């Protein structure tokens, strides 16, 4: 399979600690660390212990990674640092700003190689067989015994430890970690580790098999010689004195056990042979009276009261000055004696003095204090007694429970009477001395030379935290008798680093080096509480078995120990259903999964599994289930998409557990000619070995050939079908296994199974096999060899045709629909213990269609080159590359291809695609589909309603192509391409349709997006991902509807787009218009708004390079000018409303921006504008734009005053009559533009009351009459610009001429500019000084050091409300502001108004603030009913752009430190906006949010000016 460079992206978030998360990667992958929203803008450092190229791995050595910023500027959305992963192992990373704030681990899988050619053995190919090394005999006989694994198809051998064993002869009790087991040396020869290495190398190169072995780090044999010389390597009573009480209890229990064995308690009803509940009750009582009460272990926790009181008395008599009185109520605590001697604990005498000794003035009061202190100590001692008593209770329960299991329950080991060999309980500590009385033993503790040899045994604790070392201080496991103890081993004590126990670390390092030198991998035995830092080896295959019961804890072991695979076993399943679930859980993707992109987020993994039918230390399946289940259960395991394996003996049907402790017999050798009666030899006629060979071969083939998809089907209670599917060839292997958990001889199984329907064409039966009895002697356990049951074998037939099968017969082949070819399978003899496996391909027609489809998809992703076919009759349109077809589309056509919401689609007579069982898509174009696919593709959610719809029919497929085919021109050609490629899609099996539909749509979408960026400015083309995503908003918002939205432009203009009207068949202009927001403001008269258009135009059209379309919009609005204003609502030119004072100033700002940004931009001033009211108001038809600009300026200076046309409820059913009177003028003293009245709202904060219930209908929530601060700023910007343009010869007017009192007066732009400049801060700044003479209403000041929202409002208190509008003036006319004042005001805005995504529209300290917008709520709340608070708190996004731009501008003036801080703030806000944009199915930014960034359902999901001002911020950055 062709696979390009694989890149995974890990998003770093502040305070996110992922140490319990498993991230698995392969060698050759690139890992990129990206900054999450909480870190963008900060100076973040990423450190890792992954070695630099050419360096060795040292787990404690970290290096800092370097940041790469592909776009080189703007935001941090693309900034990353990376690792090229070439070395296997577990590696740590951490990151932080000033200190460490997060981190985790990554695990890089090893690459295993076999044979002379060093062929790669994929992890999922592994089939391992475990051998008890001590049962292999002398080394020169090993190959004959190990050949069994080779001949039955295994490719890995796991050996238990090869070292010299301890006295118990347990495989895991090692006497010397450095010495080879002498049993492996034949007489007269001394075998060395080199001989073992030569053998494993021979097996690797000649047999193509790897060898791994166990490493045991946690314990050593109790009789290890080296532990006698180095007792510090264990937990003894010198280095671990806290174990003394537990040791005393252990010895007391030994003496008690000996007394029982000697019959001393027989008269008390407790004989050596205990066999009933009455004896157990007596045992409990005697444990209390004879053991625990006698030991008085509570004294190890208590204080010697008399001694402590005497010491306290002396302190009091010495009259030491008391320290200041302590706060609260301090409590006296016992200070434990470090040597754990009886009654030797103390308390803090200084604390005692402060609690009990504050009032001492004479002997009498000293005695009272001592009595008080004594009483407290006695209470403490009672608590200590209770604590020890609870330990005793637990210990007795554990002792009795263990005794009951070992001697009385039927399934236990049945140890029989209590003897010295089988004592009452296993001893927890070594005792390398002659037997002696308890009193003498107590003396041993006092002598360090003896006490150091009293060592704690190892074991495991049921239900304990596996990460916790139960022998360390603070654990009471030994005292409470909770340890399931291995009495043949000593627990090793490493400490934290090599300095803590030098000999042990050096010894184990040599042990590890020997193992790593001669073996390809290791199995970690008993990893629980292993020293985690010891084992990280970057070049080994590491497997382990952990029993945590938690995937999170599993992950900790995986990452800390560098484990590659965790051992799982089928024997944990109680039935076939659970066995099948394990197959699904441990690997593979669902059949029909989506193809994931090569660059994608790094997602948490589950641990790679080594799934075994049985492990070597578990019960025998034949005893637990039945002999007939061995074959079907191993078949189910073999079909898992992970490593698999077994234990020697399983395949030979050995009917008992091969004990790692007691087994001393040898494994049989391989002999192809051996007879079933030959106990010392085996071959493929033995047990299920022939079946295992076929299954192992199949397992390896499936992994090698990429059968990575898995489907598990429970056919009935005992029958499991497992499908493995290859996503490139679409070939499948289906294995049906009929399990036999219960013996068919004694259990009634169903006689008939329902037929099975397999989609596709069955090519062959790969194998059919069943377990049968044969005529041979019954099983007799051999004394020399580990023999199996000779009277059972497997009947197997391989690679046969369906009609030749003896287990099934072929039913009817049917076709479901035009593309679903299904074969029926009838089970005739699938008896319990049987297995059958089929190879299934697509039917020939589907195979061809998939091949043709993959050919087309290969233009998007070379992955599809494999299994592609050439169609000799390929449609002509498919001979043209899609990128070429899309390169012919204009951005307006790409708006149709990619976007258009439901209202836009309905205007054209259609609608967005609706999934009946779910919901309609957000867009009719490709983005509608991509948004949904990107949600469930990473999760492979094939059960999603979207996928169901695709599987059930072609409706969605036809929608995509027919929608485009109905358009004209280049869009129709793209539609033809979709139609042709979908013809292939419709003729493949329905289960494959979702993944191929996804591939087509995603490929086409990426091509379309490239076509968009190719037509945009270099700012976009070279910009970050965030810049590009926002630039797509330009395509989203700018389109052409069925009816032209803009009024006609002058025929004199060049490059005006035209089209043929479908009704009149006449040519008409079709200029792009800018929708205010989707979905509410997208079509008809409500699409286009003057204010929204020109707030958004710079960001969406000028910065993206859409200059021609920007020109057309500017000129179209120039043609609508009336009374010196442009309309608020354009209303397609027929329902225009001139009720806003600010739109004309935003229009003028955009003309200024056009002239500054566009090459030769001032040419626009000469362009003709067609006035649509020519017959009404004007004599001239076309006027140059500069004349229209002058008209606007002149009208304002003259004074605009009129009543809206058609005033009344027909144009606004909420407004009161006075509100239809429009006024906009210039104050001749200050130069400020002012206007409006308290019954209308002429700026962007334009909410009109609508509620009769709350009595706010017809009342504007925010009239902002007088001089609104942003309008003053915009007018200053326009006046300054026109003054400069005139000076440069680009604008013919230097002044405006007005008529006042019958005379003509002239005001120059220079003079007008000067007046605004001189008066702005005088009248708008709210000073800190209460006596400022410019402050007309000091009683109304609510916030100081800010700029007023307006000046001269009819309700003066409105002027003083803190709103974000003055930041707009700061951007367009920064010269109006004193730097220090501006900075202070911005700090207040940041603190009070900045939300997660937008700006609060009102100070939250204001009495009428309400941050939740609910337009549907109609109640008696005047301030909120029917959304009256639209601009009284909800957080609007577009002002945030102006705030951030103002912050950057003035931060530069404040110096580098402030600028750096501001850049961090800006990047941080941008990152939150990016996150919102990424997560939105609309792929855009909303109009507003409720308070604190909460989602607002009444907001437009995507708003033009929200996107535009964020783009402008990025441009400034």
The answer to whether the CB of 235 falls within 8 A of the CB of 451 is: no
Q: How many Å apart are CA 1397 and CA 1470, to the nearest integer?
A: 8
Query: Which residues lie across from 1203 on neighbouring strands?
Result: 1221
Distances (CA, A) of 507 to 58, 179, 220, 1337: 19, 12, 12, 86
Catalytic-role residue among 34, 528, 608, 725: 528
Q: How many Å apart are CA 1468 and CA 1479, to the nearest integer?
A: 17
The answer to whether the CB of 486 falls within 8 A of the CB of 459 is: yes
The answer to whether the CB of 1111 falls within 8 A of the CB of 1054 is: no
Query: Which residues lie across from 646 on neighbouring strands?
Result: 129
The shares of helix, strand and coil residues in the chain, as percent rounded to the nearest 5, are: 40, 20, 45
Q: How many Å apart are CA 289 and CA 300, to the nearest integer?
A: 19
The answer to whether the CB of 625 falls within 8 A of the CB of 649 is: no
If residue 766 lies in a helix (H) or strand (E), which one and from where to where? strand 761-773
3 state SS of 771: strand
Phi and psi at residue 661, to the nearest 5°: -100, -50
Helices (H), 565-644: 576-585, 621-624, 630-638
For residue 708, what are its two tokens?
A: 């990575």
For residue 922, what are its two tokens?
A: 């957000």
Upstream peptide bond of 1079 is cis (omega within 30 degrees of 0): yes
- Cβ-count burial 1022-1039 (b if 16+ within 10 Å, e if not): ebbbbbbbbbbbbbbbbb
Catalytic-role residue among 488, 617, 1246, 1414: 617
Q: How many Å apart are CA 1473 and CA 1052, to the nearest integer?
A: 43
Helices 1269-1287, 1309-1324: axis angle to 10 degrees equals 150
Residue at token pair 């490139």: 728
Q: Which of 1201, 1045, 1182, 1178 is nearest to 1125 (CA)?
A: 1201
Distances (CA, A) of 595 to 717, 947, 986: 34, 14, 19
Q: Which of 1373, 1231, 1226 is nearest to 1315 (CA)?
A: 1231
3 state SS of 102: strand
For residue 1305, what are its two tokens?
A: 């007066």
3 state SS of 719: strand
The answer to whether the CB of 303 falls within 8 A of the CB of 381 is: yes
Q: How many Å apart are CA 372 and CA 381, to the nearest integer?
A: 15
Q: How many Å apart are CA 403 and CA 418, to the nearest integer?
A: 10
Q: How many Å apart are CA 1488 and CA 1436, to the nearest integer?
A: 4
Phi and psi at residue 1004, to the nearest 5°: -65, -40
Q: Give DSSP secondary structure letters for 856-896.
A: HHTTT-GGGGTT----TT--GGGGS-HHHHHHT--HHHHHH
Q: State yes or no: is 525 an active-site residue.
A: yes
What is the CB-side half-sphere exposure of residue 1184 using CA atoms within 13 A? 11
Q: Which of 998, 1000, 1008, 949 is nearest to 979 (CA)?
A: 1000
Q: State yes or no: is 450 an active-site residue.
A: no
Q: How far is CA 992 from the centre of its chain?
A: 27
* Residue count (the chain): 1517
Catalytic-role residue among 525, 1265, 1403, 1414: 525
Q: Strand 1182-1184 to strand 1168-1170: parallel, antiparallel, or no bridges (unpaired)?
A: antiparallel
Q: State yes or no: is 1332 an active-site residue.
A: no
Give the active site residues: 525, 528, 617
């Amino acid at each position: 399979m062709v696979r390009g460079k694989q890149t995974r992206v890990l998003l770093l978030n502040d305070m996110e600690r992922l140490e319990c998360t498993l991230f698995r990667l392969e060698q050759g992958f690139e890992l990129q660390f990206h900054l999450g929203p909480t870190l963008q803008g900060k100076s973040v450092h990423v450190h890792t212990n992954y070695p630099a190229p050419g360096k060795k791995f040292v787990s404690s050595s970290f290096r800092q990674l370097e940041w790469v910023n592909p776009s080189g500027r703007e935001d941090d959305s693309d900034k990353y640092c990376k690792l090229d992963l070439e070395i296997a192992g577990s590696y740590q990373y951490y990151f932080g700003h000033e200190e460490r704030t997060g981190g985790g681990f990554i695990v890089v899988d090893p690459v295993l190689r076999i044979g002379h050619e060093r062929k790669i053995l994929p992890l999922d190919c592994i089939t391992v067989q475990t051998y008890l090394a001590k049962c292999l005999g002398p080394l020169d006989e090993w190959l004959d015994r190990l050949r069994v694994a080779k001949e039955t198809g295994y490719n890995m051998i796991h050996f238990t430890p090869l070292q010299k064993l301890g006295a118990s002869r347990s495989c895991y009790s090692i006497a010397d970690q450095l010495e080879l087991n002498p049993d492996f040396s034949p007489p007269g020869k001394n075998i060395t580790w080199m001989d073992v290495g030569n053998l494993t190398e021979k097996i690797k190169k000649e047999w193509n098999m790897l060898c791994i072995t166990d490493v045991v780090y946690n314990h050593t044999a109790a009789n290890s010689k080296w532990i006698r010389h180095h007792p510090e390597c264990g937990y003894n009573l010198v280095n671990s004195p806290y174990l003394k009480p537990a040791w005393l209890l252990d010895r007391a229990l030994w003496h008690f056990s000996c007394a029982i064995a000697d019959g001393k308690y027989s008269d008390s009803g407790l004989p050596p042979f205990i066999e009933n509940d009455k004896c157990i009750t007596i045992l409990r009582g005697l444990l209390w009276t004879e053991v625990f009460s006698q030991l008085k272990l509570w004294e190890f926790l208590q204080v010697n009261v008399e001694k402590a009181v005497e010491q306290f008395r002396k302190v009091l008599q010495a009259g030491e000055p008391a320290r200041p009185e302590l706060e609260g109520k301090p409590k006296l605590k016992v200070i434990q004696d470090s040597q754990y001697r009886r009654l030797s604990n103390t308390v803090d005498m200084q604390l005692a003095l402060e609690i009990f000794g504050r009032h001492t003035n004479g002997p009498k009061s000293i005695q009272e204090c001592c009595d008080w202190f004594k009483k407290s100590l006695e209470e403490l001692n009672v608590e200590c007694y209770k604590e020890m008593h609870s330990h005793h209770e637990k210990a007795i329960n554990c002792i009795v429970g263990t005794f009951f299991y070992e001697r009385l329950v039927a399934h236990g080991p049945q140890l029989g009477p209590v003897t010295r060999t089988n004592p009452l309980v296993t001893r927890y500590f070594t005792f390398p001395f002659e037997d002696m009385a308890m009193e003498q033993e107590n003396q041993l503790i006092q002598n360090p030379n003896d006490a150091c040899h009293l060592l704690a045994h190892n074991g495991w604790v049921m239900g304990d935290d596996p990460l916790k070392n139960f022998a360390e201080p603070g654990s009471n496991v030994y005292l409470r008798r909770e340890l399931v103890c291995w009495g043949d081993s000593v627990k090793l004590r490493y400490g934290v680093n090599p300095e803590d126990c030098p000999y042990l670390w050096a010894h184990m390092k040599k042990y590890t080096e020997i193992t790593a030198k001669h073996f390809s991998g290791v199995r970690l035995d008993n990893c629980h509480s292993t020293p985690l830092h010891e084992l990280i080896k970057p070049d080994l295959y590491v497997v382990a078995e952990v029993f945590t019961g938690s995937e999170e804890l599993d992950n900790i072991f995986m990452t800390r120990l560098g484990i590659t695979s965790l051992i799982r076993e089928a024997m944990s399943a109680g039935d076939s259903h659970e066995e099948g679930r394990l197959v699904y859980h441990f690997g593979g993707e669902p059949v029909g999964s989506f193809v994931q992109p090569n660059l994608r987020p790094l997602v948490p993994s589950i641990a790679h599994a080594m799934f075994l039918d049985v492990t070597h230390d578990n019960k025998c399946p034949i005893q637990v289930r039945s002999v007939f289940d061995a074959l079907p259960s191993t078949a189910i395991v073999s079909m898992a998409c992970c490593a698999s394996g077994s234990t020697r003996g399983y395949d030979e049907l050995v009917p008992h557990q091969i004990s790692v402790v007691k087994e001393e017999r040898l494994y049989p050798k391989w002999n192809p000619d051996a007879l079933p009666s030959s106990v010392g030899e085996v071959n493929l006629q033995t047990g299920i070995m022939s079946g295992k060979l076929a299954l192992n071969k199949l397992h390896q083939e499936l992994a090698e050939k990429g059968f990575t998809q898995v489907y598990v089907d429970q056919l009935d209670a005992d029958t499991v079908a497992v499908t493995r599917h290859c996503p490139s060839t679409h070939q499948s292997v289906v294995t049906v296994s009929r399990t036999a958990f219960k013996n068919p001889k004694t259990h009634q199984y169903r006689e008939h199974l329902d037929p099975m329907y397999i989609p596709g064409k069955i090519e062959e039966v790969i194998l059919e096999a069943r377990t049968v009895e044969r005529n041979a002697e019954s099983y007799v356990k051999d004394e020399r060899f580990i023999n199996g049951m000779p009277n059972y074998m497997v009947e197997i037939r391989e690679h046969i045709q369906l009609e030749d099968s003896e287990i099934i017969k072929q039913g009817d082949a049917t076709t479901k629909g035009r593309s679903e070819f299904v074969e029926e399978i009838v089970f005739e003899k699938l008896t319990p213990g049987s297995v059958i496996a089929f190879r299934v391909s697509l039917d020939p027609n589907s195979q061809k269609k998939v091949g043709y489809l993959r050919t087309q998809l290969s233009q998007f992703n070379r992955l599809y080159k494999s299994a592609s076919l050439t169609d000799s009759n390929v449609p002509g349109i498919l001979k043209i590359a899609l990128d070429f077809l899309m390169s012919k589309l204009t951005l307006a056509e790409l708006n149709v291809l990619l976007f258009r919401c439901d209202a836009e689609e309905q205007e054209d007579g259609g609608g967005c695609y609706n999934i009946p069982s779910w919901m309609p898509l957000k867009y009719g174009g490709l983005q509608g589909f991509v948004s949904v696919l990107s949600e469930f593709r990473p999760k492979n959610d094939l059960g999603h309603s979207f996928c169901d719809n695709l599987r059930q029919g072609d409706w969605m497929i036809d929608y995509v192509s027919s929608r485009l085919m109905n358009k004209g021109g280049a869009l129709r050609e793209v539609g033809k391409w979709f139609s042709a490629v979908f013809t292939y899609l419709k003729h493949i099996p329905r289960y494959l349709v979702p993944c191929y539909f996804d591939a087509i749509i995603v490929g086409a979408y990426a091509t379309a997006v490239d076509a968009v960026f190719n037509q945009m400015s270099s700012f976009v083309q070279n910009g970050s991902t965030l810049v590009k995503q926002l630039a797509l908003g330009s395509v989203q918002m700018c389109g052409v509807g069925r009816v032209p939205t803009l009024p006609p432009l002058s025929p004199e203009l060049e490059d005006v787009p035209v089209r043929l009207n479908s009704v009149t068949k006449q040519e008409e202009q079709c200029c792009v218009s800018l929708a205010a927001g989707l979905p509410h403001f997208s079509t008809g008269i409500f699409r286009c708004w003057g204010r929204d258009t020109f707030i958004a135009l710079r960001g969406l059209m000028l910065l993206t390079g859409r200059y021609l379309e920007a020109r057309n919009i500017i000129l179209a609005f120039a043609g609508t000018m009336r009374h010196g204003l442009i309309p608020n609502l354009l209303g397609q030119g027929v329902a225009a409303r001139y009720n806003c004072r600010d739109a004309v100033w935003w229009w003028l700002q955009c003309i200024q921006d056009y002239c500054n940004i566009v090459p030769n931009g001032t040419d626009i001033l000469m362009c003709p504008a067609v006035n649509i009211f020519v017959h009404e108001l004007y004599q001239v038809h076309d006027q140059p734009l500069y004349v229209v600009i002058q008209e606007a300026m002149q009208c304002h200076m003259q004074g605009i005053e009129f009543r809206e046309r058609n005033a009344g409820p027909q144009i606004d059913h909420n407004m009161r009559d006075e509100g239809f009177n429009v006024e906009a003028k210039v104050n001749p003293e200050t130069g400020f533009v002012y206007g409006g009245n308290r019954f209308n709202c002429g700026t962007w904060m334009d909410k009109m009351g609508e509620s009769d219930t709350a009595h706010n209908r017809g009342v504007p929530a925010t009239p902002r009459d007088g001089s609104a601060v942003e309008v003053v700023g915009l007018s200053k910007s326009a006046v300054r610009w026109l003054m400069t343009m005139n000076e440069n010869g680009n604008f013919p007017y230097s002044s405006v001429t007005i008529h006042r009192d019958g005379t003509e007066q002239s005001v120059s732009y220079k003079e007008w500019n000067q007046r605004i400049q001189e008066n702005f801060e005088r009248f708008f700044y709210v000073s800190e000084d209460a006596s400022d003479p410019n402050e007309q209403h000091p009683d109304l000041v609510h916030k100081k050091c800010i700029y007023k929202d307006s000046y001269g409002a009819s309700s003066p208190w409105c002027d003083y409300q803190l709103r974000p509008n003055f930041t707009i003036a700061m951007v367009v006319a920064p010269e109006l502001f004193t730097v220090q004042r501006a900075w202070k005001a911005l700090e207040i805005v940041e603190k009070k108004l900045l939300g997660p995504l937008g700006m609060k529209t009102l100070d939250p300290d204001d009495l009428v603030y309400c941050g939740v917008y609910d337009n549907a709520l109609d109640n008696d709340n005047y301030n909120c009913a029917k959304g009256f608070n639209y601009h009284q708190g909800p957080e609007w996004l577009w002002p945030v752009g102006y705030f951030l731009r103002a912050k950057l501008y003035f931060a530069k003036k404040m110096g580098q430190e402030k600028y750096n801080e501001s850049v961090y703030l800006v990047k941080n806000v941008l990152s939150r906006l990016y996150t919102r944009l990424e997560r939105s199915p609309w792929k855009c930014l909303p109009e507003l949010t409720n308070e604190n960034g909460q989602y607002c359902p009444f907001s437009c999901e995507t708003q033009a000016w929200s996107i535009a001002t964020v783009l402008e911020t990025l441009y400034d950055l």
